[in-house]
């Protein structure tokens, strides 16, 4: 009997436990993937299938600094590849091509008009109900009363959606803050070359614990995020031929 | 079967005549666009080379003066109502498949009027009453008489082309002989066969219906399951889903009675929605799908409107609501409206089949996330308007602003998935910039200025030479030092028409207090614009 109960799949066991301990979820249900380039920053291991899980569902992520848009796209990319939908609200200028290069799957991405003419909180709540990653410019959040922002945030928490705020605003308290600083652009000379990649310093600050820092290429040569191998001094990392 | 090849066009002409819509001339080339494809075109447009399934650009390339008629199924249904009514005076029980196509059992009526050919002539005459010259826009009605739904629709199509009724002799051998030479692709528009299945049949070398019928039913059952057997029945002319003249069984009937008669269409449609949801949920719980439904409405004075609607793909709640709306719109706003409000509405599914999940979802193959997202999108569309939610559609091009175009989800519909997909090997666009692309693109150009060391504006000559290296970048009166730059990449587009454009692109990196920032600039007509920002 005891062995039989151990042989049951974990999910079945969880169902048995649920009445006693409230709802029980597993780590992989609570977490969404992050791109391998950001895995070290999130403090997670890159698994064999290349999708490290590091982004907690229901969290609010604030991407700020000079590379805020690239950073937000990088956060959205891995869950989007894994089957989540992405909504980009009130930012029609965001380049779909750059989003595609960053790894966001455009088939599952919708661009929603600026809801400031209507009822932004209802629109955000409706999106949170069905779409897992929602990119919102900070200006839109700042225009909302704090009570409504909190309501949207709570709703996102209960539905397991991730709110990604692009830009800095004091009117929302994020669970995760990604601050970017640009170090250098590579590939452009004086009258020759073309933009190849950008090295940025990125700092991840959870509400608890010490912030982690790291350097990444964002965008990398193909437009996605590449981990920055520490090169030391002025050694230029090897580039693929062609 | 009575069938009109391009009913929406006739409906548009008739609506224009009655002053309820824009006017169209039946003799001019007309076409209807739906989901960014031509869904039907008039004979005049066909002669010029417009074909259903083309994109707008191709159609306009074939016939530059083609007029686009708006897609509006409600209008089509409203205009079809008088035709159904006219035929209803001769044959009371008929299945309306869609606006422009209806199906009836001929056995009784044929005996009454004296044979299939006489019946077909009578039907032609009745269908064309009152809309004779408007039918020029669509090529007129075709009446086909045959055993089985597929043969009848093919006969009607042939009749519409020839202008004379086509009667296929009764009997499965005659029907099979009639069907044999048709290509398998006719299964898609007539009986709603899955295009993937048709593609597969073609690849298996089964090009014609006769090839499929020649196989044994057991082989088709082995390979395709129940679908295969149905396919064999269809192709060999032994399909038994002919329109029935029997009263429907009352088991699943849902009914709503109104204590106060309801005169408004909106309220009735709203009531129909809850009825349809209830019916759909009940059928879904039994794993069934209804393919034919009877919609009945009764007014306070006892006038009734009764229609049978058929759809091969099955009628889900939304499809049922559409049909109720079409029927009631045609009745209430038609030529012979009820004299009082509606007191009862009744939906009776008459044909049920096992729900094998054949109906393709809105987003193609669905997951839970897709379902949830579709719901959220519908909700937001309701809040902000039909054009507020858009999806990126791949167009190609060398300008980062134009590679993807944002199209409303409500218009693209089921093609959403296919639209955004970048082709696996995108065609080369010489002169386009390599990755990475700007994360922020300005569709409305943002003015800026680029100055050289002497404070003069940097210009590009006709031969693509830069007047001096850029030193300063000025944007809304802020000045930044240009650290690096590259360009110009001249772009000369559309030199053949009025939209011709000459420009040159530059990439620059400026020294900003927060670190280096990159921009994609364009100089056009001696003025500088910010095209994209790498944020």
Pairing, β B254-262 against β B404-408: unpaired
- Nearest-Cα distance to chain B for A2, in Å, is 35
Determine the Cα–Cα distance for residues B392 and A100; give it in Å rounded to an integer.
10
Determine the Cα–Cα distance for residues A132 and A58; give it in Å rounded to an integer.
9
Angle, helix A120-130 to helix A146-159, in steps of 10 degrees: 10
Pairing, β A133-137 against β A162-166: parallel
* pLDDT level of residue B521 (50, 70, 90 thresholds): very high
Angle, helix B317-332 to helix B265-285, in steps of 10 degrees: 150
Task: Kindly state the average pLDDT of the residues B146-162.
Answer: 83
ipTM attached to this prediction: 0.83
- pLDDT tens for each residue of B273-300: 888 988 888 888 777 788 888 888 888 8
DSSP bridge partners of B506: B521
The residues, ordered by sequence, that sit 6+ positions from B509 with a Cβ below 8 Å of its Cβ are: A185, A188, A195, B482, B483, B484, B485, B516, B517, B518, B519
Nearest to A114 by CA among A139, A84, A145: A139
* pLDDT level of residue A240 (50, 70, 90 thresholds): low
Name the residue among B409, B466, B486 with its Cβ closest to that of A189: B486
B403 vs A: CB within 8 A: yes
Q: What is the pTM of this model?
A: 0.56
- On chain A, the residues whose CB falls within 8 A of the CB of B443 are 92-93
Name the residue among B372, B420, B436 with its Cβ closest to that of A98: B436
Determine the Cα–Cα distance for residues A73 and A68; give it in Å rounded to an integer.
9
Per the CB < 8 A criterion, the answer to whether A93 and B378 are in contact is no
Question: Which secondary structure element, helix H or strand E, spans residue A157, and what is its range?
Answer: helix A146-159
Task: Kindly state the average pLDDT of the residues B473-480.
Answer: 90
**DSSP code at position A225:** -
- On chain B, the residues whose CB falls within 8 A of the CB of A219 are 435-436, 439, 534
- pLDDT tens for each residue of B142-153: 888 888 788 888
The burial class, CB within 10 Å (0-12 / 13-18 / 19+), for B28 is middle
Determine the Cα–Cα distance for residues A53 and A59; give it in Å rounded to an integer.
14
Determine the Cα–Cα distance for residues B2 and B129; give it in Å rounded to an integer.
14
Nearest CA in chain B to A65: B514
Please tell me the total number of residues recorded for chain B in this structure.
535
B215 pLDDT higher than 60: yes
Supply the pLDDT for residue B395: 80
Average pLDDT value over all residues in chain A: 82
Nearest CA in chain A to B405: A96
A143 pLDDT higher than 60: yes
pLDDT top residue among B499 and B390 = B390
Task: Kindly state the average pLDDT of the residues B41-45.
Answer: 82
Per the CB < 8 A criterion, the answer to whether B359 and B316 are in contact is yes
A230 pLDDT higher than 60: no
- pLDDT tens for each residue of A85-108: 999 998 888 999 899 889 998 888
DSSP bridge partners of B341: none
Percent of chain B with pLDDT over 90: 10
Task: Kindly state the average pLDDT of the residues B305-325.
Answer: 81
Per the CB < 8 A criterion, the answer to whether B73 and B322 are in contact is yes
Name the residue among A65, A92, A106 with its Cβ closest to that of B420: A106
- pLDDT tens for each residue of A175-213: 999 999 888 898 888 888 889 999 999 999 988 878 888
Supply the pLDDT for residue A21: 46
Task: Kindly state the average pLDDT of the residues A57-63.
Answer: 93
Determine the Cα–Cα distance for residues B532 and B535; give it in Å rounded to an integer.
9
- Nearest-Cα distance to chain A for B516, in Å, is 6
Task: Kindly state the average pLDDT of the residues A71-79.
Answer: 93
Supply the pLDDT for residue A89: 94
- On chain B, the residues whose CB falls within 8 A of the CB of A182 are 514-517
* pLDDT level of residue B248 (50, 70, 90 thresholds): very low
Per the CB < 8 A criterion, the answer to whether B493 and B501 are in contact is yes
Supply the pLDDT for residue B241: 57
Supply the pLDDT for residue B471: 92
- Nearest-Cα distance to chain A for B395, in Å, is 11
Supply the pLDDT for residue B249: 53
- On chain A, the residues whose CB falls within 8 A of the CB of B403 are 96-97
B83 pLDDT higher than 60: yes
Supply the pLDDT for residue A232: 44
B372 vs A: CB within 8 A: yes
- On chain A, the residues whose CB falls within 8 A of the CB of B487 are 191
Q: Do B442 and A93 touch (CB under 8 A)?
A: yes
B419 pLDDT higher than 60: no
Nearest CA in chain A to B482: A190
- Nearest-Cα distance to chain B for A197, in Å, is 7
Percent of chain A with pLDDT over 70: 81
- pLDDT tens for each residue of B455-472: 899 999 888 889 999 999
Output the CA torsion sign for A67, A73, A76, A81: negative
CA B294 and chain centroid, separation:
24
Supply the pLDDT for residue B398: 79
Supply the pLDDT for residue A176: 92
Task: Kindly state the average pLDDT of the residues B66-72.
Answer: 83
Percent of chain B with pLDDT over 70: 89
B434 pLDDT higher than 50: yes
Supply the pLDDT for residue A26: 60
């Amino acid at each position: 009997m005891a062995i039989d109960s151990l042989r049951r799949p974990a999910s079945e066991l969880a169902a048995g436990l649920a009445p006693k301990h409230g709802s029980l979820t597993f780590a992989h249900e609570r977490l969404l993937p992050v791109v391998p380039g950001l895995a070290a920053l999130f403090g997670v291991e890159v698994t064999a299938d290349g999708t490290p899980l590091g982004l907690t569902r229901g969290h609010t992520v604030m991407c700020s600094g000079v590379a805020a848009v690239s950073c937000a796209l990088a956060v959205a990319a891995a869950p989007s590849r894994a089957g989540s939908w992405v909504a980009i609200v009130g930012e029609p200028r965001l380049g779909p091509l750059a989003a595609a290069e960053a790894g966001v799957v455009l088939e599952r991405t919708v661009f929603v008009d600026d809801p400031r003419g209507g009822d932004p909180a209802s629109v955000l709540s409706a999106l949170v109900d069905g779409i897992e990653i929602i990119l919102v410019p900070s200006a839109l959040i700042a225009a909302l009363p704090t009570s409504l922002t909190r309501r949207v945030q709570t709703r996102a928490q209960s539905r397991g959606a991730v709110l990604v705020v692009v830009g800095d605003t004091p009117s929302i308290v994020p669970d995760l803050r990604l601050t970017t600083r640009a170090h250098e652009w590579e590939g452009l000379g004086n009258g020759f070359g073309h933009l190849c990649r950008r090295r940025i310093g990125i700092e991840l600050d959870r509400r608890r614990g010490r912030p982690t820092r790291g350097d990444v290429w964002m965008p990398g040569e193909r437009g996605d995020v590449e981990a920055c191998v520490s090169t030391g001094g002025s050694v230029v990392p090897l580039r693929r031929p062609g | 079967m009575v069938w009109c090849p391009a009913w929406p066009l006739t409906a548009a002409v008739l609506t224009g005549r009655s002053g309820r819509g824009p006017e169209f001339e039946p003799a001019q080339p007309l076409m209807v666009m739906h989901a960014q494809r031509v869904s039907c075109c008039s004979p005049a447009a066909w002669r010029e080379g417009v074909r259903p399934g083309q994109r707008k650009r191709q159609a306009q390339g074939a016939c530059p003066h083609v007029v686009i008629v708006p897609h509006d199924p409600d209008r089509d249904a409203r205009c079809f109502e008088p035709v159904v009514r006219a035929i209803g005076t001769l044959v009371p029980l008929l299945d309306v498949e869609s606006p422009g196509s209806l199906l009836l059992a001929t056995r009784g009526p044929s005996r009454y009027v004296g044979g299939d050919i006489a019946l077909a002539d009578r039907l032609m005459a009745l269908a064309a009453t009152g809309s004779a010259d408007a039918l020029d826009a669509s090529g007129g009605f075709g009446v086909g008489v045959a055993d089985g739904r597929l043969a009848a629709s093919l006969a009607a199509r042939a009749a519409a082309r020839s202008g004379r009724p086509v009667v296929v002799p009764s009997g499965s051998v005659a029907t099979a002989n009639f069907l044999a030479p048709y290509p398998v692709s006719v299964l898609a528009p007539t009986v709603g066969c899955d295009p993937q299945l048709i593609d597969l049949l073609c690849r298996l070398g089964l090009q014609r219906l006769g090839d499929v019928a020649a196989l044994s039913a057991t082989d088709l059952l082995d390979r395709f399951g129940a679908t295969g057997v149905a396919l064999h029945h269809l192709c060999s002319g032994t399909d038994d889903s002919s329109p029935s003249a029997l009263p429907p069984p009352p088991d699943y009937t849902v009914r709503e009675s109104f204590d106060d008669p309801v005169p408004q269409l909106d309220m009735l449609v709203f009531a129909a929605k809850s009825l349809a949801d209830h019916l759909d949920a009940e059928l879904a719980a039994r794993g069934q799908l209804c393919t034919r439904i009877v919609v009945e409405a009764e007014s306070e004075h006892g006038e009734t409107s009764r229609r049978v609607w058929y759809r091969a793909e099955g009628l889900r709640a939304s499809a049922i609501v559409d049909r109720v709306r079409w029927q009631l719109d045609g009745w209430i706003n038609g030529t012979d409206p009820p004299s009082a409000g509606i007191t009862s509405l009744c939906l009776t599914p008459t044909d049920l089949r096992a729900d094998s999940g054949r109906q393709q979802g809105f987003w193609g193959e669905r997951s839970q996330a897709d379902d949830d997202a579709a719901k959220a999108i519908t909700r937001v569309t309701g809040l902000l308007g039909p054009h507020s939610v858009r999806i990126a559609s791949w167009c190609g091009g060398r300008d980062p602003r134009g590679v993807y175009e944002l199209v409303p989800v409500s218009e693209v519909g089921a093609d959403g998935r296919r639209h955004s997909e970048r082709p696996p090997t995108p065609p080369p666009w010489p002169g386009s910039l390599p990755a990475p692309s700007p994360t922020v693109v300005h569709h409305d150009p943002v003015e800026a200025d680029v100055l050289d060391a002497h404070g003069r504006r940097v210009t590009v000559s006709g031969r693509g030479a830069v007047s001096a290296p850029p030193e300063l970048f000025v944007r809304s009166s802020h000045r930044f030092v240009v650290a690096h730059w590259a360009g110009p990449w001249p772009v000369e587009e559309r030199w053949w028409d009025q939209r011709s454009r000459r420009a040159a692109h530059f990439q620059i990196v400026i020294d900003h207090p927060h670190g280096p920032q990159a921009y994609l600039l364009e100089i056009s007509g001696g003025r500088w614009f910010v095209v994209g920002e790498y944020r």
